[in-house]
């Protein structure tokens, strides 16, 4: 865990707040499923000496599960389905790493995480290049103005040529790739990398199963040419070609979203990981002024403020508590301070504040801009809420809810468990795991759940049974899309058998349509009806505010 130098509860100067903010690097790791994201997270922690042994989710006997993938479903399937926050120190910086769900069905959670970070590490599988989810994530980062560091992973396996991958990045994303390292040896024959700034060769030494930190040795270009022969010559020529094309790192272009630094790695072997950490510290932006809901930029030296980007329960199986993940945007957070909940204007005590390390936590006495704080049992807080110290009120831009594309009616499998059923559904709605809709016709006994992707329903079933002791039965509903409507329009829509109007828990009336054809016909026959697009069109697409 990261240590700070101030005594909790003491007054701090704006200069000290700014100094602490400058030390922070807050980023998300994003990728297409199975690109090695959780493995990279473990490797980063290993090289920062935050853990002593890395463990793949489906690792060998005796190797523990990953720090970031702590849910049972994640460990069984080997995929990330929830975000996790991890803080550690590296060099003179404090790193806040937020792991994100890789599967497209959980892209709403990924989008929320991207609202809380200052940069992104995009992981690309060397053999598959830029996959569908990768491209969607690139677009979201572009929308949010997040600088992106690209890591070509799995270079220890057969894959595409390095120059071809650079062309693909440039052509499909519009970003100019500026490699900081260049691989010696083709994909599948990873010998090391050229550090392009120094022209030195960095050779990686294998460790048993990649479970411990991989050491490296540095040699000069002349020595590498003798030792590596044709592989070095080919890599050196390609690196020179990149220089001739102007594909060298420029900090202003990177922060401006024009270029993306590129690094090559084999995360499962811990190869190239040290360069990723150094790149984050040297080039990624620190915590800076953030845009508020009024369009102004709130300086990091302002009194404390932050916003909730995630709520998660079930992290501590012994206590059944839930945690509100807060991104600190300005000022000093002090445990026990009383802040204002912007949504209600009411005071909110922060007695139970914790620093997070995946599922594990410890008491957080203080935090600074860029840090992620877990507020335990903060039942009043919802995803997107802002909190602040002093006045005037501070509110950060709301987080959009994606348009659901899959719908199911659910009931308790055991009717005697209705109280547990109601409490569980309300809690999952509170966390943003699922969208909950109800109607007078269906009654409170059978709410309708709306999801971006069908795997969300599996998470609901797992958590309802495991966390709340209320197994559920569900019926798939024949709807494909939803539109926002109003009371007057609902009276007309209610007469159509292929349309159903439900009220979402936030009070929004949603009209569910069986097919796009039915929606088009309804709009044609009743142009006076209110049928508005929701924010987003399913898994990370054109998300609008």
Q: For residue 106, what pLDDT is reported?
A: 65
Q: Is the dihedral of CA 466, 467, 472, 477 positive or negative?
A: negative
Same domain for 215 and 127, yes or no, is yes
Residue 264: partners with Cβ closer than 8 Å, 6 or more residues away: 151, 152, 155, 162, 179, 181, 182, 183, 190, 193, 272
538 inside domain: no
Tell me the pTM: 0.84
d(CA 197, CA 189): 23
Q: Give the DSSP letter string of 477-488.
A: -S--EEEEE-HH
Q: What tokens appear for 182 in the block?
A: 């260049």
One domain, residues 248 and 118: yes
Of 229, 258, 284, the position where a domain reaches its end is 284
Same domain, yes or no: 270 and 121: yes
Domain range enclosing 241: 26-84+100-284
Please tell me whether residues 206 and 323 are part of one structural domain. Answer: no
Annotated binding site for GTP: 99-103
Interhelix angle for 230-244 vs 221-228, to 10°? 130
Is residue 129 domain-shared with residue 255, that is, in the same domain? yes
Distances (CA, A) of 231 to 197, 224, 243: 19, 10, 19
Q: Average pLDDT for consecutive 10-residue bins of the chain (545 residues)?
A: 46 93 94 84 82 47 41 47 73 90 69 92 94 83 92 96 97 96 95 96 80 83 95 97 96 97 93 94 97 94 95 63 89 95 93 75 90 89 93 90 90 94 91 91 90 90 91 95 95 90 94 95 94 63 36
pLDDT of residue 218: 95
Does residue 517 sit in the same domain as residue 459?
A: yes
Same domain, 278 and 296: no
- CA–CA separation, 68 and 107 (whole Å): 17
Residue 474 structure tokens: 């569900």
Shared domain for 238 and 123, answered yes or no, is yes
Residue 280 shares a structural domain with residue 297: no
Q: If we measure between CA atoms, which residue out of 410, 530, 523, 521 comes closest to residue 459?
A: 410
Residue 256 region, left (φ>0) first, then alpha (ψ -120 to 50), else beta?
alpha
Q: Are residues 314 and 277 in the same domain?
A: no
| Domain count within the chain | 3
Round to whole Å and give the CA distance between 280 and 278: 5
For residue 41, give the nearest of 88, 76, 94, 109 by alpha carbon.
Answer: 88
> What is the pLDDT at residue 288?
96
Q: What is the CATH number of the domain that holds 412?
A: 3.30.70.3280
Domain final position from 244, 260, 284: 284
pLDDT of residue 176: 97
Pairing of strands 176-179, 259-264: parallel
Same domain, 296 and 182: no
In this structure, what CATH number is given to the domain that contains residue 149? 3.40.50.300
Residues 117 and 192 reside in one and the same domain? yes
Identify whether 360 is part of a domain. Answer: yes
Within-domain flag for 353: yes
* Binding site listing: 99-103
Residue 540 lies in a domain: no
Is residue 93 included in any domain, yes or no? no
In a domain, 151, yes or no: yes
Q: Residue 404 gets which letter from DSSP? A: P
CA distance 301 to 289: 9
Residue 535 covered by a domain: no
Q: Quick check: is 144 in a domain?
A: yes
Question: Which of 284, 305, 321 is a domain's end point?
Answer: 284
């Amino acid at each position: 865990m990261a240590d700070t130098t101030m005594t909790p509860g003491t007054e701090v100067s704006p200069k000290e707040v700014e100094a602490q903010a400058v030390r922070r690097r807050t980023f998300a790791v994003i990728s297409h499923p199975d690109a090695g994201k959780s493995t990279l997270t473990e490797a980063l922690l290993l090289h920062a000496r935050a853990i002593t042994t890395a463990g793949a989710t489906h690792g060998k006997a005796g190797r523990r599960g990953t720090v970031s993938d702590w849910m049972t479903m994640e460990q069984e399937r080997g995929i990330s389905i929830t975000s996790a926050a991890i803080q550690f120190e590296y060099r003179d910086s404090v790193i806040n790493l937020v792991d994100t769900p890789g599967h497209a069905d959980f892209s709403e959670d990924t989008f929320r995480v991207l609202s809380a970070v200052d940069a992104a590490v995009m992981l690309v599988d060397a053999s598959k290049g830029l996959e569908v989810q990768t491209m969607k994530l690139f677009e979201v980062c572009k929308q949010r103005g997040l600088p992106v560091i690209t890591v070509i992973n799995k270079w220890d396996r057969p894959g595409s040529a390095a120059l071809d991958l650079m062309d693909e990045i440039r052509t499909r994303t519009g970003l100019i790739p500026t490699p900081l390292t260049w691989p010696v040896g083709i994909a599948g024959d990873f010998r090391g990398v050229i550090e392009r700034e120094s022209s030195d060769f960095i050779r990686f030494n294998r460790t048993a199963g990649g479970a411990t930190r991989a050491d490296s040795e540095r040699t000069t270009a002349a020595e590498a040419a003798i030792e590596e022969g044709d592989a070095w010559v080919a890599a050196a020529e390609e690196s020179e070609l990149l220089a001739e094309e102007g594909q060298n790192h420029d900090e202003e272009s990177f922060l401006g979203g024009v270029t993306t630094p590129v690094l090559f790695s084999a995360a499962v072997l811990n190869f190239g990981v040290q360069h990723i950490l150094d790149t984050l510290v040297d080039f990624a932006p620190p915590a800076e002024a953030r845009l508020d809901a009024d369009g102004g930029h709130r300086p990091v030296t302002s009194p404390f403020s932050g916003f909730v980007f995630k709520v998660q329960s079930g992290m501590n199986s012994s206590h059944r508590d839930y945690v509100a993940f807060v991104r600190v945007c300005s000022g000093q957070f002090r445990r026990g301070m009383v802040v204002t909940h912007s949504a209600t204007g009411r005071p909110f005590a922060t007695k139970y504040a914790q620093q997070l390390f995946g599922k594990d936590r410890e008491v957080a006495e203080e935090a600074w801009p860029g840090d992620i704080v877990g507020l335990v049992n903060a039942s009043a807080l919802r995803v997107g809420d802002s909190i602040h110290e002093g006045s005037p009120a501070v509110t950060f831009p709301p987080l959009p809810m994606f348009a659901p594309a899959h719908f199911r009616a659910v009931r308790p499998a055991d009717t005697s468990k209705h109280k547990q059923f109601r409490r569980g559904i309300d809690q999952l709605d509170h966390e943003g795991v699922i969208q909950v809709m109800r109607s007078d016709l269906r009654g409170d006994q059978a709410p309708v759940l709306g999801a971006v992707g069908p795997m969300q329903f599996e998470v609901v079933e797992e958590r309802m049974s495991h966390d709340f002791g209320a197994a559920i039965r569900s019926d798939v509903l024949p709807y494909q899309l939803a539109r926002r409507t109003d009371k007057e329009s609902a009276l007309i829509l209610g007469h159509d058998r292929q349309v159903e109007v439900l009220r979402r828990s936030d009070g929004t009336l949603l009209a569910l349509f069986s097919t796009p054809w039915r929606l088009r016909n309804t709009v044609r026959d009743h142009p006076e009806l209110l049928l508005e697009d929701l924010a987003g069109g399913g898994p990370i697409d054109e998300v609008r505010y």
